[in-house]
A and B are shown apart, each in its own frame.
Chain A
């Protein structure tokens, strides 16, 4: 089972909200890790969005709008990225990552379609 699992795709309408999940393998406690989120638009380099461990341990990337936010769901052992007020420019691939066992691990990425 992969360390991090992300759904392959997600679609939502302009102005709506999108909720991305990053599920940690069952033996890895989501509350013990900082979850990092990256956005990659087609043909572009990745962009750091934010990191989230708890409400007291979080950081927004430079210039990243507040409509991007992080949280966690302990019941599903998942890190969450929430985007509100979706815009066409948000159409991109979104990756989560954690530092685990002396390596950086990325999730497989979720492709967001805004339609």
Chain B
């Protein structure tokens, strides 16, 4: 079974930073795009960022552009999200998701087909 395990969430004051990690196993990590999707308390899903298989492509939702950086280490089968200048409105559960490609390849067309359990980020003064 595909495994995605997030970590690094916690409490931070506005303006602070956090780095989320997503450790993966039981699939060929380097063959997949990866994404972060968040969900504010009681709200819907919001895509945050995605990264291509070889890191050559990265996309962000406008509200985090310039503050968040997505990265990956294919040797460690891990995905990361560096979050700087955090705002109260960034409070959410952050999910790591396999997929989110901007194009189709080998029958995979961008679906988020596996998700982690999420890690909670709370930004508050």
Contacts and interface: CB of A to CB of B under 8 A. Distances in A.
A68 interface: no
B88 interface: no
Contact of A102 (B37, B99, B102, B114): B102
A45 B116 contact: yes
Interface residues of A, number: 24
A46 B97 CA distance: 9
Given A104-B50, A109-B44, A99 B110 contact: yes
A51 interface: yes
Given A38-B45, A103-B47, A103-B61, A46 B111 contact: no
A48 interface: yes
A83 B55 CA distance: 37
A102 B46 CA distance: 14
A47 B114 CA distance: 7
Interface in A77-108: 93, 95, 97, 99, 102-108
Task: With a 10 A CB-CB cut-off, give which of B35, B44, B97, B107 has the most chain A CB atoms.
Answer: B44
B115 A47 contact: yes
Interface residues of B, number: 27
Contacts of B80: none
Interface string B46-72: 110010000000011110000000000
Contacts of B100: 104
Contacts of A40: 45
Contacts of A59: 107, 109, 111
B44 to A, nearest CB: 4
A45 B115 contact: yes
Given A46-B45, A102-B59, A104-B35, A34 B109 contact: yes
B95 interface: yes
Interface of B: 35, 37, 44-47, 50, 59-62, 95, 97, 99-100, 102, 107, 109-118
Closest 5 CB pairs of A and B: A104-B47, A109-B44, A45-B115, A106-B45, A48-B113
